[in-house]
Amino acid sequence: MLIDSVIGLKKLSSRLLSVNIDTRNRALAAVSEAIVENKSYILSENKKDLDSALNINGSLYKRLVLTNNKIDEIVEGLKTLISLPDPLGKMQMNRELDSGLTLSRYSVPIGVVGVIFESRPDALVQISSLFLKSGNCGILKGGKEAINTNRALFKIITDAVNSVSDILGSSLQLAESREDINEILKLDQYIDLMIPRGGNDLVQYIKNNTKIPVLGHTDGICHLFMDGDGDIDLGVKVTVDSKCQYPAACNAIETLLVDEKIAERFLPEVQKALNERNVELRGCKKTQSIINVNKATDEDWDTEYNDFILSIKVVSNLEEAIDHINTHGSGHTDCIVTQNEQKWDNFFMSVDSASVYLNASTRFADGNRYGFGAEVGISTNKIHSRGPVGLEGLTIYKYKLTGNGNIVDDYATGKKSFTHKELQCE
């Protein structure tokens, strides 16, 4: 039964700290080699899923597809992850409370983490590898569309890890059915964190049906604001990449906001570039008075298209743009194109999102591109971890107090006083 496996993971989680960084890195190297050796098998299993998924929507289908290039990217991500320093045992604080009484803080794994992710099978490798490096036990539940690919990848990963460490090899569990998820959500005394990667319906379902803390993001409604002090050519370039480089991703923009001071010059240029990519444009009344596009409705401002569709709104100033983003955005990633440093500072401090960019594509919001090696997901929460969640986001900390017979009564009665002197971290 799944519950027995989860209880086993909870017991195992305390033993993972005994696995040193060299062993964890060797396990990841074994996974990398095994994926390369089994590339043809992985692609053949992925084809089974693709053949069975012809009727799913376009964005889900795109996420499901594995190619030689994608597998090469997975392997490069593993190599990057191996090169990163050990996230565990890092001293984060060192403070003398009094002579002979010292308080320090160290990074440790969260424990047992469950992740429910969308149809992207490459996410299974990324998440598994992050668990292995960060010393966490992991429960992975992928989309049913990718069941053959996920089974193949999970077996390849666990076989490779077992060849290096039995403890690490036992630290991952694959769940496959909706019944598994419903059972998992009841196990709050054994699972420390749930991370749902998917649409708003999935995230809300998880939050409403478990006592386990939940870390995740809902919609990826990202914006680009073309400021009146921005460079038009640069703005067109960044807009096209932010929308078109991979529109099914949660960090692709869904709404383009344009300062009315620059709208008549910018909109025809960006429309031409987006038309070349066959992007359907939907605009507000002011936008429609400048370029010929479909009418945008109120619903468009709150929609994550995951497709070649972009809504456009002309705004009167920076403040209106910020207000629109904070009202309709999902706290994921938002960008401003401007040459005005004061406006950039205002935008950065005022936009309530995990990642805020200046003159750069929102598609950079990714754990691999941030140098995290991979990501277990992108969090729009404001507790514990925010933005792409890599190794650091999969750790928590514990305090260590060392003394020599120290008692609180001495300080309560005034016999002794605290020094609270900051010491150098080791």
pLDDT in tens, 311-364: 999 999 999 999 999 999 999 999 999 999 999 999 999 999 999 999 999 999
Instruction: Give the residue-averaged pLDDT of 70-76.
Output: 93
Task: Indicate the range of 37-41, 97-101, 181-185, 274-278 predicted with least confidence.
Answer: 181-185
Pick from 112, 115, 113, 107: which is nearest to 89 by CA?
107
- CA dist., res. 109 & res. 393, Å (int): 10
Q: What's phi and psi for 382, nearest 5 deg?
A: -120, 10
| Residue 218 confidence (pLDDT) above 70 | no
Indicate the fold that domain 2-216+381-398 takes in CATH: Aldehyde Dehydrogenase; Chain A, domain 1 (3.40.605)
What is residue 203's predicted lDDT score, i.e. its pLDDT? 83
Architecture of domain 222-364: 3-Layer(aba) Sandwich (3.40)
Q: Which residues, including other chains, have CB under 8 Å from residue 345's CB and lie 6 or more apart?
A: none
| Residue 59 confidence (pLDDT) above 80 | no
Q: Check if the beta carbon of residue 377 is closer than 8 Å to that of residue 358.
A: no
Partner residues linked to 329 by β-bridges: none
DSSP secondary structure string for all residues of 9-44: HHHHHTTGGGS-HHHHHHHHHHHHHHHHHTHHHHHH
- CA dist., res. 303 & res. 70, Å (int): 28
CA atoms within 13 A on the CB side of 329: 29
Q: Is the dihedral of CA 287, 292, 298, 299 positive or negative?
A: negative
pLDDT in tens, 181-210: 889 999 999 999 999 987 777 888 898 999
Partner residues linked to 335 by β-bridges: 224, 357
The domain spans of the chain are 2-216+381-398, 222-364
Query: Distance of alpha carbon 199 from its chain centroid, rounded?
Result: 13
Pick from 170, 176, 175: which is nearest to 158 by CA?
170
DSSP state of 297: P
- CA dist., res. 77 & res. 84, Å (int): 11
- CA dist., res. 194 & res. 186, Å (int): 11
DSSP state of 217: B
What is residue 244's predicted lDDT score, i.e. its pLDDT? 97
Residue of 190 and 177 predicted with greater confidence:
190
pLDDT in tens, 126-151: 999 999 999 999 999 998 899 999 99
Q: Is the dihedral of CA 94, 98, 99, 103 positive or negative?
A: negative
pLDDT in tens, 294-314: 999 999 999 999 899 999 999
Pick from 375, 422, 333: which is nearest to 130 by CA?
375
DSSP secondary structure string for all residues of 102-134: EEEEEEEE--EEEEE--S-THHHHHHHHHHHHH
Query: Does an H or E element contain 250, and which?
Result: none
Both structure tokens of 152 = 């193949």
Both structure tokens of 143 = 């989309």
Which residue's entry shows tokens 């609180």? 408
